[in-house]
Each structure stands twice: as C-alpha cells, then as structure tokens.
Structure 1
Amino acid sequence: MNTLDIETGADTLCADGGPRAFLRDHGLPELALDDDELTGLQQLREALRAAFLAHTEGSPLPTPAARTLNRLLAEAPLVLAVAEDGHPALRPADGLRGTAHLTAHIAAAMATAVADGTWTRLKACEAHDCRWAFYDRSPAARGRWCTMAVCGSRAKMRTYRAKRV
C-alpha cells in the first residue's frame, strides 16, 4: 500500500529494482514481473487503499475497487496446508507466479486479519494528500489519520481556520 507517495507522485514499484526491494523487505519470494504484472500490482494496491479508506470512513467499498479486488483475488487461489507443528495455514496454491503469487500472500494475510478481527482496523489516512495505510490502534477504532502529529494536526488546523473566517 505505502509504495506510492500521493503528495509527490513517487511510486517505488516503478523505480528500478522497486518491486524486488519491496518483496525482499517484506520477506516475500522474488518474483519476475513484466509490465502487465506491475500494472496488476498497482491495481491491487489501489483497490486495497480503497478498502482501507472505506474502513476509515465507515462506508462501503466502492464497486470498481471491489470488482478489481475480487478479480485479482480470484486469480490467486489459496490452499490450506498443515505445517510441521500441526497448525493449519493458508498459502498460495502451487504454480502461481508474479502478481498472482503476491496477491495470494496478501489474501492469506487478509483472511488472518478477518479471522482475528483486525481487518477493519487496517485503514488509509483520510488526508487527501496522504492516503498512507496504517493500523488503527485507537481504543474505539475511530482513527482517521496515519499520524496525529502531521495529517491529523493539518486537518484540525484547516477546520479551525475555516471556522474563523
């Protein structure tokens, strides 16, 4: 999610070695990605951002984002496997490559987040020039900004100034 800086337009997925660095930094297997798959990763990122923003706003996921997310997830099947310790876990189905393989890893994490009740705490910053993904640790799960020190303060200052005019 946080591979695009909305304010500057810098997309680390498009930088030389960007996808490789992202995968390495997150402990994921290296994937060969062509231009179409890079587009798929960007679509996945933006559909997840829309889902997280819906969590922030308490609104339904927009239909285009839901369609994109459903299409990408359908192309990334999971299987239930039992680890050596006997615990079951979701993992990407054999034979997946590129974007589908990464999407399957994300789908497994999504399923875990739904199961443990943390899915709706995954949010996108409400600031239009940010939209950074964050985990809402607030007691009532009503967080709206990635950080109160920056985005929250800016929003509150804009509201304050608007009332004074």
Structure 2
Amino acid sequence: MSDEAVPPAVRLVRDFVNTYEPQVDEESLTTPDRLRDWFAERQLIPTDTRLGPADLALAVTIREGLRAVLLGHAGHRADPTAVARLDEALAAVPVRVTLAGGGPHLHAADDTAAARALAQVVDAIRQCAQDQTWARLKVCDRDTCRWAYYDASRNQARRWCSMAGCGNYVKMRRAYAARSDRRRQAPTDGPAPAN
C-alpha cells in the first residue's frame, strides 16, 4: 500500500510511534531539538520553536503508550503500565474542542509549542476514531520489531509490518520449529538395543 493511500491522521500517529525502531534500537527523538525538527517537518510547530527536556520526556511517554495500545489492536495484551502512563501524559496535554473549520477538532488549551504539537497528535487519534481507522493502526507481531503500520486488509487480519520481511521471518521460524519438533517426536528406525 502506498503511503498516499494511508489517511493523514493515521500517517501522523503511525509515524510518531515509529520515531523509535525497537528492532535496531534506533531512537529518532534523542534531543528536544530533534523532537522540534520532527514536529516542524510535519508543520505542527514553527522551525524556530524551543522545546525542553520535559517536552521530550512527555512526547516519548505518549509515543510508547501509543505503541502499547497499538499492540492491543494487533491482538496482544497491552502493557497496562504503559497505557496508564499514556493516560497520565495525555492529561498533561490539555485540549479544547473547537468547531471552527467545519467540524469538531481538538486544539491545545495551553499555548506552549509542545502542547500545540501534541494536541495535533491527540486530534489525529480523535480523527482516526471518527473515521473508524483507529483499530487498523497496529504494531508488528514480530517481538523484536513492533513497527507501527496501517492494516488496510479487508478483514483487518494483517499481523506484520511487512509480509516480505517480518511475516516471512516469523513463518520461516515457525516452520523450522515445527520440523524440528517432528524430528524429535519421530520414532527412530533400527533394531532395539539388546539387554
């Protein structure tokens, strides 16, 4: 599926979660300036905005809480601690409803740059729920990956970020384990040992 076919709100949430790639332990949001740059590239805040360490910590907590929720969308048990931290972090992003612009959306009630940017991420979650795309946002079933993706399959049963990559890897490991199991359980040919 091309990225253009992914709804913009879904893309924002997915890309935000994917600022950390567990499989290679690669963190994109290493400093407040990197967080600012990420938000600015998506036109959520001006490029000359100053963010601090507390803003970065809040954003990372929200991101990892979202990853836990998306793991639940993929049929796994979401880490309740991460979800509780997410709820606490979201309480630190006060939003208000506005009807300006043709429909209800959420805006930051606080005028700090971080609040404005994170409120747009929160509004993207609201948009996903409204468009019924929220449950289609998932993280990869491969334990070491956990990359966020949009499940556009008809029956919403997709399990991996990529069938060619993670899906193939998991299926090959399962097939190898099944073959090894069958070999261990197969009776050995040959005469029984004499007493």
TM-score, length of structure 1 as denominator length: 0.87
Q: May I ask how many residue pairs the two structures share in their alignment?
A: 162
Residue 190 of structure 2: aligned partner: none
Residue 48 of structure 1: aligned partner: 66
Q: 2:122 is matched with which residue: 104, 107, 113?
A: 107
Residue 154 of structure 2: aligned partner: 139
Q: 1:7 is matched with which residue: 1, 23, 41?
A: 23
Once the two structures are overlaid, the 10-residue window that deviates more, 19-28 or 138-147, is 19-28
Residue 125 of structure 1: aligned partner: 140
Give the superposed CA RMSD: 1.9
1:60-99 → structure 2 map (5 Å cutoff): 61-84=78-101, 87-99=102-114
How far apart are residue 98 of structure 1 and its match? 4.5
Q: In structure 2, how many angstroms separate the alpha carbons of the residues matched to 1:32 and 1:16?
A: 8
The percentage of aligned residue pairs carrying the same residue is: 31
Instruction: Tell me the secondary structure at the aligned position of residue 22 of structure 2.
Output: coil
Once the two structures are overlaid, the 10-residue window that deviates more, 43-52 or 33-42, is 33-42
Q: In structure 2, how many angstroms separate the alpha carbons of the residues matched to 1:150 and 1:77?
A: 39
How far apart are residue 146 of structure 1 and its match? 0.6
TM-score, length of structure 2 as denominator length: 0.75
Q: In structure 1, how many angstroms separate the alpha carbons of the residues matched to 2:114 and 2:41?
A: 17
Q: In structure 2, how many angstroms separate the alpha carbons of the residues matched to 1:62 and 1:15?
A: 26
The amino acid that maps onto 2:122 is A
Structure 1 runs (4+) deviating above 4 angstroms are: none
- Structure 2: state its 5+ residue gaps: 1-16, 181-195
Q: In structure 1, how many angstroms separate the alpha carbons of the residues matched to 2:33 and 2:96?
A: 30
Q: In structure 2, how many angstroms separate the alpha carbons of the residues matched to 1:80 and 1:88?
A: 10
- Structure 1: state its 5+ residue gaps: none
Q: 1:158 is matched with which residue: 140, 161, 173?
A: 173
* CA deviation vs aligned residue, 1:143-162 (integer Å, no higher than 9, x gap): 11111110100000001110
